[in-house]
Structure 1
Amino acid sequence: MEFSVIQGDIAQQEADALVNAAGTSLRMGSGVAGALRRATNGPINDEAMSKGPVELGEVAATDAYDLAADYVIHAAAMPHYGDGRATPESIRTATRNTLERADELECRSLVLPILGTGAAGFDFETGARLICEELWQYESTSVTDIDVIAYSAEEYEIVTEIADRLHS
């Protein structure tokens, strides 16, 4: 399916669902999770943790509280126990499960970061390629507007180049 690449802070985006790069405990610590947690002005961390732990690659949805969204989909691309590292399969599975959950929630719009590449330690460029591949292959029943978000200008350039290369 088609998607756009944007640059910015995920906690400042507007969509039906924003995606949290989570670990299997669903505890919202740093990075994307921390930005979303700080911006919600609500008990999102408690709600997320009440739905966990989940298996690697699984997702859970919570209210988005004060964010400009209806839901936060917590995509567990990394284990919160042991070595805490994401794998190609965990990134692919978490991306696919996120898209399926967005469809179940009848979301039209979604903002998705590059899962597994921050605290989870996976190579950013490879993670971006895996996510873009999953997006191109997915056939949604409700989602029509996906933004893949990169925080820095450098990451934005990497994701844009990968998306363009895969689409041509």
Structure 2
Amino acid sequence: MQIKLELGDITEQTVDAIVNAANSSLLGGGGVDGAVHRRGGPEILEACRALRASHYGGGLPAGQAVATTAGRLDARWVIHTVGPVWSPTDDRSAVLASCYRESLRVADELGARTVAFPAVSAGVYGWPLDDAARIALETVRSTGTRVSEARFVLFTEDVRRAFTARL
């Protein structure tokens, strides 16, 4: 699999699937989640509400992933995953790694070959950038998948630098 790094807005990517760093409610929020819902339009929120009404009444647990339509985004699907909040006293690295593995598993189920990832948990959830980059890249590299391109779309220069140093 080819791994690419880009500085930019993940909602502007032309890929099979965009990974959304969602909150557990699946109903939109800030950061990547808010941007995906705003740009993707009401179709994404409608699909997320249907998920909440069926399998995910209590929300999507951290480390898991689920797909919906991409609405108005230039993608076929949005893969929603909930990252863990960073803790200095509780090692949640396995949960963060699971976000990437589960997103790739869902991508394979969908038949997606190109996937755009954000830096899950590295924003408002406070994960240290160097560690977030290490976990993301090591997990994506080591996960067996039919995805041919994993594109990390990083919103700020400091996040891009952290990922570049780890790549």
The alpha carbon displacement at 1:62 in A equals 0.6
The alpha carbon displacement at 1:55 in A equals 2.2
Which segments of structure 1 move beyond 2 Å, counting only runs of 4 or more?
none
Cα RMSD of the aligned pairs, angstroms, is 1.4
Alignment counterpart, residue 73 of structure 2, candidates 63, 67, 88: 67
Q: Which residue of 1 aligns with 2:93?
A: 88
Gaps of 5+ in 2: 87-91
SS at match of 2:131: helix
Q: Could you report, residue by residue, the CA deviation over 1:18-38 in whole angstroms, capped at 9, with x for unpaired residues? A: 000012222310000111111
TM-score (norm 1): 0.87
Q: Percent identity between the aligned chains?
A: 28
Alignment counterpart, residue 105 of structure 1, candidates 99, 102, 110: 110
The alpha carbon displacement at 1:56 in A equals 1.9
Deviation larger for 55-64 or 42-51: 42-51
> Does the CA-based 8 Å contact 2:21-2:80 persist in structure 1?
yes
User: Is 1:146 equivalent to 2:150 in the alignment?
Assistant: yes
User: Is 1:58 equivalent to 2:64 in the alignment?
Assistant: yes
The alpha carbon displacement at 1:46 in A equals 3.5
Q: Which residue of 2 aligns with 1:28?
A: 28
Give the paired residue count: 156
Q: Which residue of 1 aligns with 2:89?
A: none
The alpha carbon displacement at 1:105 in A equals 0.3
Q: Could you report, residue by residue, the CA deviation over 1:73-108 in whole angstroms, capped at 9, with x for unpaired residues? A: 001113xxxxxx243122101110000100110001
> Does the CA-based 8 Å contact 1:48-1:60 persist in structure 2?
no
The alpha carbon displacement at 1:67 in A equals 0.3
Q: Which residue of 2 aligns with 1:17?
A: 17
Which letter does structure 2 place at the counterpart of 1:135? V
Q: Could you report, residue by residue, the CA deviation over 1:111-148 in whole angstroms, capped at 9, with x for unpaired residues? A: 0011111122211221111010001101212x101101
TM-score (norm 2): 0.87
Deviation larger for 13-22 or 119-128: 119-128
